[in-house]
Amino acid sequence: MTVVAPLIDGFGRVHTDLRISVTDRCNLRCTYCMPLEVVFKPREELLTFEEIGRVAGVAATLGIRTIRLTGGEPLMRRDLPELVRQLTAVPGIEEVALTTNGLLLAEQAADLHAAGLTRLNVSLDSLTTEGFERVARRPGLDRALAGLEVAKREGFQSIRINAVSIKGLTEAEIVPLARFCRREEFHLRFIEFMPLDAEESWDKSQVLSGADVRAVLERELGPLVAEQADDPGQPAIDYRWVDGGRVGFINAVTRPFCDRCDRLRLTADGQVRNCLFSTVEWDARSLLRGGGADTEIATLIRDCVAAKRAAHGIDTPSFARPSRAMYQIGG
């Protein structure tokens, strides 16, 4: 598909990736993301599959090529495979991926794969019941592991494990997670804790840096060799052990990757965002429900891209947290 004018922001970054949140609901309550007590958006405020498909279709004409479904917990949205089917059929979309906590994956993996989902990211912070529940504040480890097993059998092109690193909370998980992922041939990625927790307890001193995690891995499991990035827009820096296994680091706080960011986001309630840390949103839902034309949706997306800041600026004195937490934005 020829793109007449790609989505280029004021800093020359070309946008080709759209993260779509399909719900703010979740079956876990991870400390770094959600509050314990939560009021979810009424269902009528969430975009329908038809509305999501329309935004994706317009975005594809502007050069969006990959879509990642997220949430909240995306597998809690009924009939998700149907949405995957619709999105993989959008002209120009080359790949649809999913980020999930995996609790409902055992039941849904086959349908998702058959619908055209190729890549899976499963978030898993601990392999012990105690560790899992300390972070997730709900049970679910056995279901997540069962989901991973079914997904592996299903033969997805890629399965990645995401683990958030928090000082004083997740140090003991580093080596067991790495051993597990090497054995199971999952690609492990450690993500630095970002100031997007609903309880607003984030403090820089809690960020367990990717460099510190890497040092532990090298000490315990042997030297790591840097890998060439498959995709220049990817936020992770990946490494490989010479005797097998890959591990990556998304050092969003200590080594921001804003200069190569190629992402846009659509929240479950239909707001377009140009950054996880954006404090402004562009209201696509009002256009969709108010008879807006595709050209108007395209203009809204372009305006959003044009307003993108150079960097998230977490370390700058003027940094202001977004008013919505990770589960409301879509990570």
The footprint of ligand SAM (CB under 6 A) covers 26, 32-33, 70-71, 73, 99-101, 123, 162, 164, 191, 193-194, 196-197, 326-327, 331
Using the structure block, give the residue that is written with the tokens 């807006």: 292
CB of 63 to ligand SF4, least distance (A): 28
Site for ligand SF4 in 310-329 (CB under 6 A): 326-327
Distance (Å) of CA 319 to CA 74, 166, 313, 329: 29, 21, 6, 18
30 binds ligand SF4 (CB under 6 A): yes
Residue 321: count of CB within 10 angstroms of its CB = 15
Q: How many helices (H) and strands (E) does the chain have?
A: 10, 12
Nearer to ligand SF4, 135 or 258 (CB): 135
CB of 197 to ligand SF4, least distance (A): 9
Q: CA–CA separation, 20 vs 46, rounded Å?
A: 12
Site for ligand SF4 in 90-129 (CB under 6 A): 101, 123
Q: CA–CA separation, 326 vs 225, rounded Å?
A: 32
Partner touching 162 among ligand SAM, ligand SF4, none, CB below 5 to 8 Å by kind: ligand SAM
CB of 117 to ligand SF4, least distance (A): 18
Nearer to ligand SAM, 86 or 101 (CB): 101
Nearer to ligand SAM, 101 or 209 (CB): 101
- Rounded to whole angstroms, the maximal C-alpha distance in the chain is 59
Q: Are 160 and 175 in contact (CB under 8 A)?
A: no
Q: CA–CA separation, 314 vs 320, rounded Å?
A: 8
Q: CA–CA separation, 8 vs 212, rounded Å?
A: 35
CB of 208 to ligand SF4, least distance (A): 17
CB of 198 to ligand SF4, least distance (A): 9
Site for ligand SF4 in 46-75 (CB under 6 A): 71-73
Site for ligand SF4 in 247-306 (CB under 6 A): none
End-to-end CA, the chain: 28
- What lies within 8 Å, CB to CB, of 248 at 6+ separation is 187, 188, 189, 190, 236, 237, 238, 239
Q: CA–CA separation, 7 vs 20, rounded Å?
A: 17
196 binds ligand SF4 (CB under 6 A): no
Nearer to ligand SAM, 194 or 247 (CB): 194
Q: Which residues form the interface with ligand SF4 (CB under 6 A)? A: 26, 28-30, 33-34, 71-73, 101, 123, 326-327
